[in-house]
Structure 1
């Protein structure tokens, strides 16, 4: 049943909105605290304080590997590769994106962040294998 993949997909979309709200709040804080003026960021966002820049970087991340995730979900639904393993991999991927965000916009240790990112990419690769196997 394709609903197994709809739920993690909706969760991923929701998470992108959450990260967008975090970004907006951090930028608003930067303006209201006087840390940055609008004229300082009209061309480049480098003048924002670190918390706002981290949120912006993470928001950008939500349009990198998640694009592959969304494509794989659509292809999996089209090819019938919607079993429990695929659903588990989809949820694993979404979980890694959530944890990656919390680490990225929080303490931000690069080694941990990279490991979490890597697990997510492995989950995506396994999803790709699942789709590939379903069409062979």
Structure 2
């Protein structure tokens, strides 16, 4: 068996969640495009398409795009912590908190989308990510 690092489990969970979010977004967008009777050339840019479809449809794609942004820093941080042996239990807890908060953020943004609620969840996940990175640096020094 591989010498697996427990800190990689929340990474894989977030990857799987990102795929689920993508499928959710596509399954919402395709029927909305059909219902709006948009031609094949309509909405060639995402911003144009967002204006042509219900906002609730676009929220899911907005969140999918968000999952392709900051989590990439999370993935890099986890890889550094694992290969340097700094994947402590504390960092594993932070990784799970980050992953959980990103999933909650996705559900909130994709369903009701209250901006201040999203911001609080985003801020909490960002703090967890920052603490992971700072903790890693402090342990390296």
Question: Under TM normalisation by the shorter chain, which class is it?
Answer: over 0.9
Q: Is the 8 A contact 2:63 2:109 kept in 1?
A: yes
Question: In structure 2, how many angstroms separate the alpha carbons of the residues matched to 1:52 and 1:38?
Answer: 18
Aligned to 2:118: 113
What is the RMSD computed on CA atoms of the aligned residues?
A: 1.5
Question: In structure 1, how many angstroms separate the alpha carbons of the residues matched to 2:39 and 2:93?
Answer: 45
Question: In structure 2, how many angstroms separate the alpha carbons of the residues matched to 1:23 and 1:7?
Answer: 24
1:14-43 alpha-carbon deviations (Å, 9 max, x no partner): 011011001110111212323644332124
Question: In structure 2, how many angstroms separate the alpha carbons of the residues matched to 1:2 and 1:73?
Answer: 13
**Aligned pair in 2 of structure 1 residues 36, 51: CA closer, same or farther (>3 Å)?**
farther
Aligned to 1:33: 35
- Counterpart check, 1:82 vs 2:87: yes
1:63-117 alpha-carbon deviations (Å, 9 max, x no partner): 1110110010011012111111000000000011000001001111111110000
Task: Structure 1 unaligned segments of length 5 or more: list them.
Answer: none
Aligned to 1:19: 21
Q: Is the 8 A contact 1:20 1:59 kept in 2?
A: yes
Aligned to 1:125: 130
Aligned residues: 136
Question: In structure 2, how many angstroms separate the alpha carbons of the residues matched to 1:26 and 1:35?
Answer: 15
Question: In structure 2, how many angstroms separate the alpha carbons of the residues matched to 1:65 and 1:38?
Answer: 32
Deviation at 1:57, TM superposition (A): 0.6
